[in-house]
A and B are shown apart, each in its own frame.
Chain A
Amino acid sequence: MNDIGLIGMVSIIVAGGTMAIGSIGPAFGEARAVAQALSAIAQQPDASGAISRTLFVGLAMIESMAIYCFVVSLILIFANPFWKYVVEHP
């Protein structure tokens, strides 16, 4: 297999694996955070404003992990530097 085929294959496989592994962790984390926040709101409805504000910020910080993986996999597929190098230096 030549270099272009090898780099393309590895990039696509790794991009899929990045999304799979990188989204399962934040999914568990967000599920735990939302469940805890819901039970906290159920126990103390008065504090729902502060709880939901903190929940949103925390969810965004958890979700940014998945977003990093998404950006990395997009770079692998659409803006791969090694692919560009091989295409320019055949």
Chain B
Amino acid sequence: MELSPDSTVFWQWGPVRLNATIAFTWLVMAILSLGSWLVTRRLEDNGNMPRRRNFLETLVAILIDQIRAIGHKEPGRFLPFIGTLFLFIAASNSMEIIPGFEPPTGSLSTTAALAICVFIAVPFFGVKQKGLSGYLKHYVKPSVFMAPFEIIGEFSRTLALAVRLYGNIMSGTIIVGILLSIAPLFFPIVMQALGLLIGIIQAYIFAVLAMVYIASATSEKKSTEAGSENGKKGGV
């Protein structure tokens, strides 16, 4: 049994290998960017909005609302990164109902790449917000002895992000494969419907966790303000 679409090789030229993961990643990228380009090609402001544009605007509005609710700050800087993560993962997960399509998120390489993007984006946004010393200060916040644990935590949560998404999507594919050999008539469809739900939820969770990590790296002042407010309330 194949554990990941990495082992399906379409085309090979020396050491360069075009496997199913890369091909389907390109397919998802092409569909996302072509679709957005087609919808936003001619934007008119004459009152009657096409349905596709309405759909995209609703999606972006939902993303903005969620980022604002989770991060407690203006979503403008985070929207491109978080929104891209969510849209890519949701699109590739929900396209698994297309026959022949293997979701690229069912390969550990893709999810590790996405998790490494989050791993790099957290200090990027943190340093941009608070400066280098301000960002590095939160490693030694209670005491210097906590710094190794903070660093271990950064690595382990990156690993957890990658393995969580990979495990969920890959297990959905494998369960459908096993059911096809046991009860091929009706049950694989039910499990695929469950897989669709899990795929959307996992995309949401990946984006939310990325936003939570970025928010915790950028909002040092907010927490101290909240703490002082709580202190005042306690005093009153």
Contacts and interface: CB of A to CB of B under 8 A. Distances in A.
Interface of A: 50, 53, 56-57, 60-61, 64, 67-68, 70-71, 74, 78-79
A57 B163 contact: no
A42 to B, nearest CB: 22
B171 interface: yes
B83 interface: no
Contacts of B208: 53, 56-57
B38 interface: no
A64 B209 CA distance: 13
Contact of B163 (A53, A61, A68, A79): A68
Closest 6 CB pairs between A and B? Answer: A67-B167, A64-B164, A60-B205, A71-B167, A57-B208, A70-B171
Interface of B: 1, 3, 66, 69-70, 160, 163-164, 166-168, 170-171, 174, 201-202, 204-205, 208-209, 212
Contacts of B66: 53
A79 B3 contact: yes
Given A68-B167, A70-B167, A78-B3, A57 B160 contact: no
- For B69, B167, B204, B212, the residue with the greatest tally of chain A CB atoms inside 10 Å of its CB is B167
Given A78-B3, A79-B3, A56 B163 contact: no
Contacts of A61: 160
B209 A57 contact: yes
B69 A50 contact: yes
B167 A60 contact: no
Nearest to B204: A56
Nearest to A64: B164
A56 B164 contact: no
Given A57-B212, A61-B160, A74-B174, 10 more contacts: A53-B208, A56-B201, A56-B205, A56-B208, A60-B164, A64-B163, A67-B167, A70-B167, A71-B170, A78-B3
Contacts of A64: 160, 163-164, 167
Nearest to B164: A64
A74 B69 contact: no
Given A50-B69, A60-B205, A67-B171, A74 B3 contact: yes
A64 to B, nearest CB: 4
A71 B170 CA distance: 9
B163 A60 contact: no
A50 B69 CA distance: 8
Contacts of A68: 163, 167
19 contacts: A50-B69, A53-B69, A53-B208, A56-B201, A56-B208, A57-B205, A57-B208, A57-B212, A60-B201, A60-B202, A60-B205, A61-B160, A64-B164, A67-B164, A67-B168, A71-B163, A71-B167, A74-B3, A74-B174
